[in-house]
Amino acid sequence: MKKILAILAMALILGACGQKDKAIESKKEVQNQAIEPGLSNMVDEASQKFVEESLKEKINPTSVDSFMKLVKDYNKAVGPDLLVDGFIKDINKTYDTGKIINRRDGQDLIDTNCRINAFLLSADELTNKNQTEIDDSMLFTDLDMIKKGKIFNDDETLKFREFFTSIPTEGSKDPAVQGKLAEKYYQNWTYSEKFDLISVMIHDKLDGDKLFIGHIGVLTEIDGGYLFVEKISFEEPYQAIKFKTKEDCYKYLKDKFKDFIDPEAAPPFIMDNGKYVE
């Protein structure tokens, strides 16, 4: 009888272990499933918590707190009715910019753009190994807002100017040629290995030949895919977008700037942590 009970007990233990193993494997399968693309303005508490926790796994929590405060201040000033609550499938959401500007007029709000927010999240990890001459002629509005809002100290502002400086280039219309020239400048910078800075480079020919970062955001890996956070412009909202792959993020940004065309210049191209994306 004792032998039978022992066998039954062992069977129960093995069965429980098997169920536990299956539960662990099931959880892993759910985590490893590719996420569905989705967009949020981080209006609701759930999406705010998701973005905040995802960023803090890879980025200095103090920097993330500062970023989330700017998000919440902007969303409060604009109002939830003009923004996306939760996550929606349309990652190319259009906004009523006129209504947003009217809503914000007269409010004591610090205006920020993509460069300010991406730098806020990444500044601790960015290091310039070879300081160069700065051309910040394209950054006059950025620098005005940084000073007005006291967003960065003097050393941080200097690093901001260095990172986003306009880069002298040549007149080639080939984005691959321009991309390699941009790489030469950004090879002097070190980046975090925990997240990516994805930027859209613009070839400007209005005052000579220059390259500058026209748009930028932070891409972090999450379970089943990637999370990209950006501020569209000074007026337009913050966005958090889920992608299945890095390539999906690249495509999203290429499509965003597909109509930004100067027949005399190279088309906009993508850089990932200072490397040209083919």
Domain boundaries, the chain: 35-276
Phi then psi for residue 240, to 5 deg, are -120, 120
Q: Give the pLDDT of residue 228.
A: 98
Q: Give the pLDDT of residue 33.
A: 56
3-state secondary structure at position 241: strand
Q: Give the pLDDT of residue 24.
A: 39
Q: Give the pLDDT of residue 165.
A: 96
Question: Would you say 98 and 125 are in contact if contact means Cβ atoms under 8 Å apart?
Answer: no
Distance CA 50, CA 41 (A): 12
pTM across the whole model: 0.87
Distance CA 53, CA 233 (A): 24
Distance CA 11, CA 217 (A): 54
Distance CA 15, CA 17 (A): 5
Q: Give the pLDDT of residue 34.
A: 63
Q: Give the pLDDT of residue 12.
A: 40
- Pick out the chain residues at pLDDT < 50: 1-20, 22-32
Q: Give the pLDDT of residue 110.
A: 86
User: Where do we find the tokens 């032998």?
Assistant: 3
The answer for residues whose C-beta is within 8 angstroms of residue 206's C-beta and 6 or more apart is none
